[in-house]
Amino acid sequence: MNILQKIFTDHYEEMVYILHPRTSVIENVDKMINCGNPSFGGAMYGCPDCGKMKFVPFRCHSRFCPTCGNKYSMERTTNMSFKLINVTHRHCVFTIDENLRSFFLKDRSLLNCLFHAVKSVVSRLFHKMNKSKNFTPGFIMVLHTFGRDLKWNPHIHCLISEGGYSDDAYWRNVKHFNYTFLRNAFRTALLNELETHLGPSFKKVKAACYKNHKHGFYVYARSQKCDPKIVTKYLGRYLGRPVIATSRIDNYDGANVTFHYNRHEDNEYVTETVPALEFIERLIRHIPEKHFKMIRYGGIYARNRDIDKKLFRAVPREKHHVLCSFNKWRSAILHAFGYDPLRCDECGSTMLFLELYYRHKRVSLEKMYEKAMSRSRGKRSSA
């Protein structure tokens, strides 16, 4: 049991009866607490030479779990890297007024407005360059609802190609981004979206945002080369990462939790100690609703046309299989911790899969094979 599981296990009832969490929160917390619990099943491996047995429990596959969430992030960033065109990209961060944060916390459906606003602004930026050519960039949008101090701070990380692809198969490189337009256009697009959903009562807040942000909402951007050797690492660092890693939790004494972070403004190392229930409240508010997409694609990365397939990708198709293999359970552990989980401690041979257990029920290899064959036969007959 890791430290995060310990914190939530100790204060589970307090969380339920005091914080009244959403259904999606209960579901993800239950999964995280029981991640790696042998009673929920697992796979049995055996050494063909010395006969030693090893049981590997199932993981929870929840994005809220620091272990499974990290693996999910690795898989998502690998898949994203396959879509990227081999051109320089611009990493932009679209932020909002601090007074707007509470609206997104009360009504999480409004988070869609952030994606719609960014998508419209980026598309308009490229469309203005040559309206007849209809230049379309490729961009990936990722929603972050947390800051480094775990407080509620929804913002969009967007990776935009420095160039656009026209309908007549012409690529135009773009080195200059009009940040004044991005700031003002994003402010206007988002406030109009929110007014449409919230109605006339939002007009006072909208007027205050225009008054306090005369030059638009802050948009941070920097150029990032799309080198296949670093693109996956870069995406994993900024896109789709878990809310907090267990390495950032320094201490838990049963009542209080101490964690650290580097402050964004000056990169100063900050240590913070809060009551356990407050720490839990800060974390669970960032759990999204079920089926809500935190990562979305726009432009040429969203559509699937034959003409788009002619673009030169950052990661060649022949390398996809190799990169995906690094995310498999055995390879990931070997890469992260330096040992092979299927290597026998006694004789050094590679252990073989024997059978599967699911909630105390044994599932033999023969039954798994029969089910797989019946599914394949059903697909062939339906085709």
Q: What is the pLDDT of residues 233-280, one digit of tens each?
A: 666 665 556 788 888 899 999 999 999 988 877 778 999 999 999 999
pLDDT at residue 232 greater than cutoff 60 = no
Are the CB atoms for 42 and 58 separated by under 8 Å?
yes
Per-residue pLDDT tens for 282-308?
A: 999 999 998 898 889 998 888 766 666
CB atoms closer than 10 angstroms to residue 32: 23
* CA distance linking residue 101 with residue 145, whole number of Å: 9
Say if residues 153 and 247 touch (Cβ distance below 8 Å). no
pLDDT at 279 (0 to 100):
94
Confidence band of 223 (pLDDT split at 50, 70, 90) = low
Distance CA 224, CA 43 (A): 42
Give me the pLDDT at residue 21, please: 93
Confirm if 88 and 226 have CB atoms less than 8 A apart: yes
**The amino acid at 103:** F
Interval 180-195: pLDDT, tens: 899 999 999 999 999 9
Kindly report the average pLDDT of the chain as a whole number: 84
pLDDT value at position 184?
Answer: 93
Q: What is the pLDDT of residue 369?
A: 63
| Percent share of the chain, pLDDT over 90 | 33
- The pLDDT score that the predictor gives to residue 367 is 66
d(C-alpha 348, C-alpha 80), whole Å: 37
User: Where would I find the beta strands (DSSP E) of the chain?
Assistant: 42-46, 53-57, 89-94, 138-146, 152-161, 163-165, 171-173, 219-224, 249-252, 256-262, 269-275, 295-299, 352-358, 361-364
In percent, the amount of the chain with pLDDT more than 70 equals 87
pLDDT attached to residue 25? 93
Q: Which residues contact 19 (CB under 8 A, 6 or more apart)?
A: 277, 280, 281, 284
